[in-house]
Amino acid sequence: MRSRVRSAVLALTGAALASAPLAVAPAHASAAPGTLQIHRGGPARSLSFTARHDGEAVIGFTAAAPGVSWAVKGAESAVVSVAVDGHHVTDLVVPSADPTPRSLGLGPVRQGRHRVTLRFARGSAPAARRVTLARPRVSVPRTDQTVLRHAPVVVGRVNGPLNDPYQNAVTDTPLIAWHETRPAATPGHQVIEYSVVWSNEDGGTDSPALMARWGRTTDIEWIYRVEVDAQGRRVDGTNVYQAPEHQTLRFTGRYDGDHPLLQTCTQNNNMCDAVAPVSPLRFLLDTTATRPDGRTREVVMDREPWTYQIMAQEMLREGKIEKPSDPATVQVGDQRTYLYAELAKTTGAATGTGSRPGVALGVRLKSDPSRLFRSDHDQPTWSIDRDGAAATTVELPEGTRASDIASVEAIRRPTGTGDNGAPATVTAINRGFFLDASYLPQASAVSWTGSVTLTPQQPTSVLWRP
């Protein structure tokens, strides 16, 4: 997520010290002021900054790689290696020629002057020739220090079918991260949980089910959880991570400062705490962002619209999109044909035996109101059975616009054999949007609040009409 540039004083190489952000000395004659250009085979670029106090540093910029497209084999990304005072801290995968805001952690720094060095790195696609970083800025914020201090370093995946130590530069790349906090059992302590959005998952839940049950084909996982005391220090024995098969295991691995080293070690982006020595890629993402209470995890993608574009481009490049798109099949069609919705629901107490009910969304179009397009494609296990806010999608015919929608309705559907009779109450559609021609989210066109209770006797209800 974007960094919060606050209290650090910057002194960028070649420029006078003034205030953040400052101009960077041009990489060559054609570079714009305040821009770093890093070339394949060229020298490393660097900038210096002066930290007014000890703490965790963050760097932000707008990144672009001309000639790169995450949708095109052989042109997937450019990789930049980032070091602070000679220590390799993180890598940046740049998957687009479009200028994109990015923010990374730089790890702990002491008060005083430091140097950030950026190199064009191995793992870059053959088509990648240079990376442009506009308006680079470094901060050592006074707030969020505890969150930044314990953020995990994610080491790249090396196993699996690709058997490539640089595979996260072409598949399942980590895009953004955030944190959530809650009080711990000990007064004054808190638990911090860190989550990551990956561009996709090569294993795990299949793509049609991801669209129906989660409203996207990115992979979103919590990866690390730690308890800290009132001074922000780690409470030993409390830190855990999400291991293969979604197990929660105690972390027993190594640290870089207070940053635990975790490695992506499964095809669905679960973690291991034993890091292979042949892993050249590492990712320390800015984790200062969080999500609003009562909203689904996908809202962090909504705030970074470019993540939807990368999501769609990976599906295209890997041949996971049905052509032509057909909403009558369960296969994932053109992701611009879907309504991306977020609903809120609760499930009441069971009145009998059988399976718990889920809720699907249905859409009727003005051109044919008798036809119902369902988010679950009438697959019982694809309806939403979890409570709270949940994202889903409804596939519609190509060319459908928000203005073509006649109604959106809720559909109660048991998720297995039998029906336990529990009511399901829907209280909101928080947003409903389409992707534009470039796979970026358009403005939300569907929203609703109220209270509708679905029962076996009354399993459907219209929630929204234009």
pLDDT at 279: 84
The pLDDT value given to residue 9: 30
In contact, 434 and 340? CB cutoff 8 Å = yes
Sign of the Cα torsion 24, 43, 286, 189 reads negative
Same domain, 394 and 258: no
Res 278: pLDDT: 77
Which CATH number do you get for residue 130? 2.60.120.260
Is 315 among the domain residues?
no
Residue pair 258/351 in contact (Cβ under 8 Å)? The answer is no
Contacts of 280 (CB under 8 A, 6+ apart): 122, 123, 156, 165, 166
- Please determine, for residue 14, whether its predicted confidence score (pLDDT) is greater than 90: no
Q: How many residues does the chain have?
A: 466
Classify residue 154: in a domain, yes or no.
Answer: yes
Q: Please state whether the peptide bond connecting residue 423 to the residue before it is cis, i.e. omega within 30 degrees of 0.
A: no
pTM over cut 0.95: no
User: Domain check: are 133 and 152 in the same one?
Assistant: no
| Mean pLDDT within 391-405 | 98
Q: Assess if residue 311 is contained within a domain.
A: no
Instruction: Report the 10 Å Cβ neighbour count for 113.
Output: 12
Q: Indicate if 268 and 330 belong to the same structural domain.
A: no
Do 94 and 198 reside in the same domain of the chain? no
Residue position matching structure tokens 């060095």: 117
Q: What is the pLDDT of residue 315?
A: 98
Cα separation, 448 vs 465, in Å, equals: 9
Q: Would you give the DSSP letter of residue 356?
A: P
* Residue after which a domain boundary falls, among 247, 273, 301: 301
- Structural domain count of the chain: 3
Q: What are phi and psi of 432, to 5 degrees?
A: -150, 115
Phi-psi region of 294 (alpha: psi -120 to 50; beta: other; left: phi over 0): left
Q: Which of 249, 267, 301 is the last residue of a domain?
A: 301
| Inter-residue contact 127 to 9 (CB < 8 Å) | no
- Per the CB < 8 A criterion, the answer to whether 108 and 56 are in contact is yes
Residues 419 and 433 grouped into a single domain: yes
Whether residue 225 sits in one domain with residue 150: yes
Q: d(Cα 417, Cα 164) in Å, to the nearest integer? A: 43
Residues 193 and 95 both lie in one domain: no
> What residue type is 363 in one-letter code?
V
Do 164 and 286 fall into the same domain?
yes
Per-residue model confidence (pLDDT) at position 23: 31
Structure tokens at 410: 């809720």
Q: How many CB atoms lie within 10 A of CB 369?
A: 10
In a domain, 248, yes or no: yes
pLDDT band at residue 22, thresholds of 50, 70 and 90?
very low
The answer to whether residues 126 and 150 belong to one domain is no
CATH number at residue 389: 2.60.60.20
Domain contains 178: yes
pLDDT band, residue 276 (cuts 50/70/90): confident
For residues 160 and 260, state if they share a domain.
Answer: yes
Range of the domain at 349: 321-464
Tell me, yes or no, whether 102 and 231 share the same domain.
no
Q: 223-234 burial string, b = 16+ CB within 10 Å, else e?
A: bbbbbbeeeeeb
pLDDT digits (tens, 9 = 90+) for 120-157: 999 999 999 999 999 999 999 999 999 999 999 999 99
Provide the β-strand partners of residue 103.
60
75 and 118 in a common domain: yes
